[in-house]
Amino acid sequence: MSAVATPAERATRATGVSLGRLPRGQWGTVLLLVALVVADVAVQPNLADVDQIGLLLQTALPAVLLAAAQTLAVLSRGVDLSVGSVMVTTNVLVATKLGGIEGSHMWAIVPIVAVGVAAGLVNGALIAYGGLEPFVATLASWAIFNGVALLILPTDGGAVPTTITNLVIGKVGPIPSPYVCVAVVLAFWWFLRRSPLGVRILAVGSDESRAFLNGIDVRRTKLWVYGMSGLIAGLAGIYLAGATSSGTPAAGDGFLLPSLAAVVIGGTSLAGGRGGIGLSVMGVLVLTFITDLVTNLQLPSWVAIVANAAMLLLVVSIRSLPNVLSRKETP
């Protein structure tokens, strides 16, 4: 500490708390991710290549997007169980309704994106204005949209316009597009966190009644949250269609719990108000690299599943250690 105390230092001394600029656990997650990447590259040296990593990112991207959508809901002290089923809904729409549409006619994608937004807005309206618990409202829409997807396309198949496929597997200038997509997600969060809406979301998630006292429209904020969640989940479905060149109506549920796991591993508080999409993206990457590592070690696939769970427990336990050691007052 310098001779002259800065205001921050004075404040720290006055209140006896440390200046935790970064959320606790964030650095731990960063280190974990770096360790996993290093281990993975050690096992599989040809992974150390921009295109190879890009391929890994490409498979991870639907999960990245869903984790981003989930993060918004969790930040507002909610949950969105419908992210996976909204994703497969737009996914099968792309695979069935865009046959033969190419190039400059791609505006036809707009109504499909709108379906995702509409799904999210329905969730949001039920939660914000209908007074339903987020868990209940999105549990219902989880089932409904899974059903809708199967109605539109009963089995895997369909055809995806090559324009979309090329966008997903191609490059933007010299950069492989998966990198660009991840960058866009991070930029979206950077922008949102610094917008009044972002502050409102955090305020609502942190303490709804205090947010209300500050003149924040709690209900409209929640509507925004679930609307954006639906939008991002819808985009994930379009991306998935491009990545697999087909519609996969039953793939949604495999993404739901990992989206929550990624949020938790990243360090966004399930109690709302703290965390962010950047953290959740790290969470997805942790899960991706673990799975990849297990595959590269040629271990059976159940090991990957257990390893994912073990990672979740490990990260969460490390994070809660300080609380356990200094027992907090019970309410």
Partner 1 sequence: MTGSGIQPRPAAAPADPPPFGAGDADGLRVTGLGKAYGQVTVLEAVDLHARPGEIHALLGENGAGKSTLMKVLSGVVHADGGRIALDGRELTLGSPDAARAHRIRTVFQELSLVPDLSVAENLLIEQLPRLRVVGTIGRRRLLRAASALLDAGGLEGIDPRMRVAELSLAVRQQLELVKALRVEPGVLILDEATSALGPSESAWVLGHARAQASRGAVVIMISHRIAEVRGHADRLTILRSGHSVATGAPGDFDDDALIEQMLGRRVERLYPERTPARERVVLRAKGLHVPGSFGPQDLELREGEILGIGGLEGQGQRALMTALAGAVPFHGEIELNGEPVRYRTPRHAIRHGIVFVPEDRGAEGLLLSHSIRSNIALSSVEKLRGALRSIDPGAEREATEREARAVGLDVRRMGEPARNLSGGNQQKVVLARALLTEPRVLLLYDCTRGIDVGSKADIMAALAQLTARGVAVVYYSSDAAELVHLCDRVMVVRRRRIAGALDCGPALGEEDILHLAVGTRGDEEEEAA
Residues that bind partner 1 (CB under 8 A): 6-8, 10-12, 14-21, 128-129, 191, 194-196, 199, 202-203, 205-207, 210-220, 272-274, 327, 329-330
* Residue spans of beta strands (DSSP E) within the chain: 171-172, 175-176
CA 230 to chain centre: 12
Q: Are 244 and 168 in contact (CB under 8 A)?
A: no
Residue 135 DSSP one-character state: H
Could you please report the per-residue DSSP string of 64-90? HHHHHHHHHHHHTT---TTHHHHHHHH
Q: CA-to-CA distance for 238 and 90, rounded, in angstroms?
A: 6
Please, which residue, 206 or 296, has the CB nearer to partner 1?
Answer: 206
CA 296 to chain centre: 25
Q: CA-to-CA distance for 225 and 213, rounded, in angstroms?
A: 20
Please, which residue, 95 or 211, has the CB nearer to partner 1?
Answer: 211
Please, which residue, 92 or 202, has the CB nearer to partner 1?
Answer: 202
Closest CA to 114 of 95, 93, 141: 93
Please, which residue, 205 or 249, has the CB nearer to partner 1?
Answer: 205
Question: What is the nearest approach in angstroms of partner 1 to the Cβ of residue 269?
Answer: 8
Question: What is the nearest approach in angstroms of partner 1 to the Cβ of residue 209?
Answer: 8
Question: What is the nearest approach in angstroms of partner 1 to the Cβ of residue 45?
Answer: 41
Question: What is the nearest approach in angstroms of partner 1 to the Cβ of residue 107?
Answer: 25
Please, which residue, 151 or 270, has the CB nearer to partner 1?
Answer: 270
Question: What is the nearest approach in angstroms of partner 1 to the Cβ of residue 189?
Answer: 12
